Chain A
């Protein structure tokens, strides 16, 4: 069974640009969540999508957005990049049932560097 796939693995962007990251969840998983990992702030929740709808959202500015397609694949977009957006962005998939007991499976992440 294939795991969670994130592309690309590494990105270098310039301040002010925008970037799109992609995540393909495990087959059959309908929930995709995104997390930002930085040395200073640790792991922070960005948002969760379930059945093409945003179900939950963290405390990030509107420059961070996402979407989910009918095949459960998800993309996140960051516009007007800032140096502080440099981070490892992790995608997690799970079955999506609302009880919350299912563990999430993480991709290897996309390392974004803003210069």
Chain B
């Protein structure tokens, strides 16, 4: 069965500092990995995905993520955080060899302090 863990419920970072939101996954086949962001009372917005190829994936709004197969991780990163990055972040996995639906992690709330 597929599963996603986001070990931190909350991440606090000062504006201008680098940020990392952690994600680890478990799938039986090839992992398709995604990051989404949710602002209050809104749906989820797609940030980036890893399907195959380069382990470093660049996405929207200056975010990037690093795929690490040996550690089964897909951490989200940004070199310099903005206050406007404060939101709820979800990591999701789709098993490329099995199903079609996402399995989401529990979410990590990011607070960027001015």
Binding site for B on A (CB under 8 A): 4, 6, 31, 33, 35, 42-43, 45, 48, 55-56, 58, 90, 92, 98-101, 103-109, 111
Contacts and interface: CB of A to CB of B under 8 A. Distances in A.
A106 B45 contact: yes
Contacts of A92: 44
Interface string B20-44: 0000000000001010100001111
B42 A108 contact: yes
A7 B88 CA distance: 23
12 contacts: A33-B101, A56-B101, A90-B44, A100-B32, A100-B100, A101-B51, A106-B45, A107-B43, A108-B42, A108-B43, A109-B43, A111-B41
B100 A106 contact: no
Interface stretch (B11-19, B63-71, B73-81, B102-110): B102-110
Contacts of B41: 108, 111
Nearest to A103: B46
B100 A104 contact: no
Chain A interface, DSSP helix/strand/loop, else mixed:
strand
Interface of B: 32, 34, 36, 41-46, 49, 51, 90, 94-96, 99-107
A49 B41 CA distance: 25
Q: Closest 10 interchain pairs by CB?
A: A106-B43, A43-B104, A106-B44, A45-B101, A108-B43, A103-B46, A101-B51, A42-B106, A100-B94, A107-B43
B51 to A, nearest CB: 5
B46 A56 contact: no
Nearest to B30: A100
Query: Which of A6, A98, A103 has the most B CB atoms < 10 Å from its CB?
Result: A103
Contact of B101 (A48, A107, A108): A48
A104 B46 contact: yes
A102 to B, nearest CB: 9
Contacts of A4: 43
A30 to B, nearest CB: 12
Contacts of A105: 46
A113 to B, nearest CB: 13
Contacts of A103: 34, 46, 49
